Chain A
Amino acid sequence: MTKSLFKEKKTKLEDTLRYLFSFVSFFGNSDHTTNNTFPGLSDYFQRTTSIAPLVVYRILFGAVMFASIIRFISKGWVYDLYIKPKFYFSYFGFEWIKPLGATGMYIVFGSLALLALLVMAGLFYRFSIASFFLLFTYVELIDKTNYLNHYYFVSIVSFLLILVPANKYFSLDAWFYPKIKTKWVPQWSIDIFKFQIAIVYLYAGLAKLNYDWLFRAMPLRIWLPAQNDFPLLGPLFEYTWIAFAFSWFGAVYDLTIPFLLINKRTRPFGFFLVLVFHLLTVSLFQIGMFPYIMILGSLIFFSADFHKKIISFLSKAFPANDKTSRESDTYPSAPSLVKPSFPQKLILGILVFHFALQILIPLRFLLYPGKLFWTEQGYRFSWRVMLMEKAGVAFFYVKDKTTGDEWEVTNRDFLTINQEKMVATQPDMILQFAKYLKEYYQKQGIENPEVRAKTFVTLNGRASRPIVDETIDLALEKESLKHKNWVTSF
Chain B
Amino acid sequence: MKKKLYSFYLLICLSIISCNSADDGPNSGKDFDRSIMLENFTTNLIIPSYSNFNSQAEILLAASNTFNESVTEANLAALQEAWKKTAEAWNSTQAFNYVGPAYDSSFIIRINKYPSDKIKIEEHISSSTEINSAFIESLGGGEKGLPAVEYLIFSQEGNSVILNNFLTEGENRKAYLKALTENIKEKAANLEAGWQPSGKNYTEAFLSKAGTDAGSSTNLLANSIIQAVEDIKNIKIGEPIGKKGGSLQPEKVEAFNSEYSIDLIKTDLNAIENAFKGGEGAGFDDYLNKIDAKWQDDQLLSDRIIQQFESIRTALDELDNPLNKAVTAETAEVDKLFNSFTSLVSLLKGEMISRLGLSVTYTDNDGD
Chain A contacts to B: CB under 8 angstroms: 77, 80-81, 146, 148-150, 204, 221-223, 225-229, 235, 238-242, 244-245, 248-250, 252, 254, 256, 259-260, 263, 265-266, 269, 277, 281, 285-291, 294, 385-386, 389-393, 395, 400, 403, 405-408, 410, 417-418, 421, 424, 454, 456-458, 461, 463-464
Given contacts A239-B30, A240-B25, A386-B368, contact A463 B295 (CB under 8 A): yes
Complex Cα gap A422–B223 (Å): 17
Range for the number of chain B residues in contact with chain A: 35 or more
Asked if B332 is at the interface (CB within 8 A of a chain A CB), the reply is: no
- Whether the pair B342, A287 counts as a contact (CB closer than 8 A) is no
Q: Is the CB of B27 within 8 A of A238?
A: yes
B23 on the A face (CB < 8 A): yes
| Alpha-carbon distance between A256 and B11 when the two chains are bound, in angstroms | 14
Q: Are A286 and B213 in contact (CB under 8 A)?
A: yes
With the chains together, A482 CA to B350 CA distance in Å? 28
Given contacts A286-B214, A407-B244, A458-B351, contact A238 B30 (CB under 8 A): yes
On whether the beta carbons of A223 and B357 are closer than 8 Å, the reply is yes
Cross-chain contact of B350 among A223, A287, A386, A464 (Cβ < 8 A): A464
Contacts of A227 in B (CB 8 A): 212, 357
State which of B19, B27, B367 has its C-beta within 8 Å of the C-beta of A281: B367
User: Which one of B12, B34, B244, B295 lies within 8 Å of A252 (CB-CB)?
Assistant: B12
B222 nearest CB across to chain A (Å):
12
Q: Which residues of A contact B364 (CB under 8 A)?
A: 148, 286-290
The CB with the most chain A CB atoms within 10 A, among B213, B349, B357, B368, is that of B368
**Contact indicator per residue, chain B 1-35, by CB within 8 Å of chain A (1) or not (0):** 11001101100100110011011010110111010
Q: Which of B23, B242, B291, B365 contacts A241 (CB 8 A)?
A: B23
Check A287/B367 contact, CB under 8 A, given A245-B12, A393-B346, A461-B293. Answer: yes
Residues of A within 8 A of B22 (CB): 241
List the A side residues contacting B15 at CB < 8 Å.
245, 248
Known: A407-B243, A421-B361. A248 touches B213 (CB 8 A): no
Q: CB distance A291 to B351 under 8 Å?
A: no
The listed residue (B345, B353, B355, B358) touching A461 by CB distance below 8 A is: B355
**18 A-B pairs in the complex with CB atoms less than 8 angstroms apart:** A225-B30, A226-B358, A227-B212, A228-B30, A229-B211, A238-B291, A240-B27, A241-B16, A244-B16, A287-B366, A386-B367, A395-B342, A407-B245, A408-B243, A417-B361, A456-B343, A457-B350, A463-B295
Of B246, B364, B365, which is in contact with the most chain A CB atoms at under 10 Å from its CB? B364
The reply to whether B366 and A263 contact each other, CB–CB distance below 8 Å, is: no
Does B360 count as interface, using CB distance less than 8 angstroms? yes
CB distance from B195 to the nearest CB of A (A): 23
Given contacts A240-B27, A392-B346, A408-B243, contact A265 B368 (CB under 8 A): no
Contact B366 A244 (CB under 8 A): no
Q: Is the CB of B243 within 8 A of A263?
A: no
Q: Does B247 contact A (CB under 8 A)?
A: yes
Among A150, A238, A393, point to the contact of B345 (Cβ < 8 A).
A393
In the complex, the chain A residue whose C-beta lies closest to that of B25 is A240
B281-296 residues with Cβ-Cβ distance < 8 A to A are 291, 293-296
The docked-state distance in angstroms from the alpha carbon of A418 to that of B338 is: 25
Distance between A32 CB and nearest chain B CB, rounded to angstroms: 18
A-B contact count (CB 8 A): 176
Complex alpha-carbon distance, A405 and B25, angstroms:
52
Given contacts A287-B367, A417-B361, A461-B293, contact A393 B350 (CB under 8 A): yes
Q: Are B360 and A291 in contact (CB under 8 A)?
A: no
Are A260 and B5 touching (Cβ within 8 A)?
yes
Min CB–CB distance B364 → chain A (angstroms): 3
Is A252 touching B366 in the complex (CB atoms < 8 A)?
Answer: no
Note all chain A residues with C-beta closer than 8 A to B274: none
- Residue of A241, A417, A458 near B354 (CB, 8 A) is A458
User: Which one of A250, A259, A408 contacts B238 once the chains associate, using CB atoms below 8 Å?
Assistant: A408
Residues on the A chain within 8 Å of B213, using CB: 286
The 3 A-B residue pairs whose C-beta atoms are closest, nearest first, are A226-B357, A405-B246, A290-B367
Q: How far is the CA of A265 from the CA of B5 in the complex (A)?
A: 12
Judge if B270 is at the interface, Cβ distance under 8 Å: no
For residue A200, give the distance in angstroms from its CB to the closest CB of chain B: 10
Do A385 and B367 touch (CB < 8 A)? Answer: yes
**What residues of B have a CB within 8 angstroms of the CB of A241 in the complex?**
16, 19-20, 22-23
CB of A405 within 8 A of CB of B363, answer no
B356 CB within 8 Å of chain A: yes
Inter-chain contact B244/A418, CB cutoff 8 Å: no
Q: Which residues of chain A come closer than 8 Å to B5, judged between CB atoms?
A: 256, 259-260, 266
| A295→B360 CA distance, assembly (Å) | 29
- Bound: A461/B350 CA distance, A: 10
Give B288-323 as 1s and 0s: 1 = Cβ < 8 Å from A's Cβ atoms. 000101111000000000000000000000000000
**Chain A residues whose CB sits within 8 angstroms of the CB of B342 once the complex forms:** 395, 454
Query: Is B359 on the interface with A (CB-CB < 8 A)?
Result: yes
Chain B residues with CB below 8 A from A457, complex form: 350
B210 in the interface (beta carbon within 8 A): yes
Q: Does B234 belong to the interface (CB within 8 Å)?
A: yes
Are B367 and A291 closer than 8 Å at their CB atoms?
A: yes
Q: Is the CB of A458 within 8 A of B2?
A: no
A221 nearest CB neighbor, chain B only = B27
Q: Which residues of B contact A405 (CB under 8 A)?
A: 242, 246-247
CB within 8 Å for A407 and B363 given contacts A248-B12, A389-B354, A392-B350: no
Cα distance, A272 to B343, chains bound together (Å): 48
Report Cα–Cα, A250/B32, bound state, in Å.
26
What are the residues of chain A within 8 A of B247 when measuring CB–CB?
Answer: 405
Chain B residues with Cβ below 8 Å from A148 are: 364-367
Q: Which residues of A contact B246 (CB under 8 A)?
A: 400, 403, 405-407
Are B242 and A263 in contact (CB-based, < 8 A)? no
Contact B6–A269 (Cβ < 8 Å): yes
Query: Nearest residue in A to B364 (C-beta to C-beta)?
Result: A288
Q: Are A263 and B2 in contact (CB under 8 A)?
A: yes
List residues of chain B with CB within 8 A of the CB of A242. Answer: 16
Least CB distance, B220 to chain A, in whole angstroms: 13
CB-CB under 8 A from B367, the residues of chain A are 148-150, 281, 285, 287-288, 290-291, 294, 385-386
16 A-B pairs besides A239-B28, A256-B8 with CB distance below 8 A are A148-B366, A226-B212, A226-B358, A239-B30, A245-B16, A286-B364, A286-B365, A287-B366, A386-B368, A390-B354, A391-B354, A418-B360, A458-B351, A461-B294, A463-B294, A463-B351
In this complex, the member of A241, A265, A290 whose beta carbon has the largest number of chain B beta carbons within 10 angstroms is A241
**Which chain B residue has the least Cβ–Cβ distance from A384?**
B366
Instruction: Give Cα A385 to B34, complex, Å.
Output: 28
Q: Given the complex of chains A and B, what is the CA–CA distance between A146 and B6 in angstroms? A: 38
Chain B residues with CB under 8 A of A289? 364
Partner of B27, one of A239, A290, A400: A239
Partner of A418, one of B211, B357, B358, B361: B361
CA distance A227 to B211 in the complex (A): 7
A148 to B243, CA, bound (A): 35
Q: Within B215-248, which residues are at the interface with A (CB < 8 Å)?
A: 234, 238, 242-247
Q: In the complex, A228 Cα to B244 Cα: how many Å?
A: 42
Chain B residue nearest in CB terms to A80: B363
Q: Which residues of chain A are within 8 angstroms of B28 by Cβ–Cβ distance?
A: 238-240
Q: Which residues of B contact A254 (CB under 8 A)?
A: 368
* Complexed CA–CA distance, A406 and B361 (Å): 31
Which residue in chain B gives the minimum CB-CB distance to A217? Answer: B27
CA distance A417 to B345 in the complex (A): 15
Binary contact readout B337-348 vs A (1 if CB under 8 angstroms, 0 otherwise):
000001101110
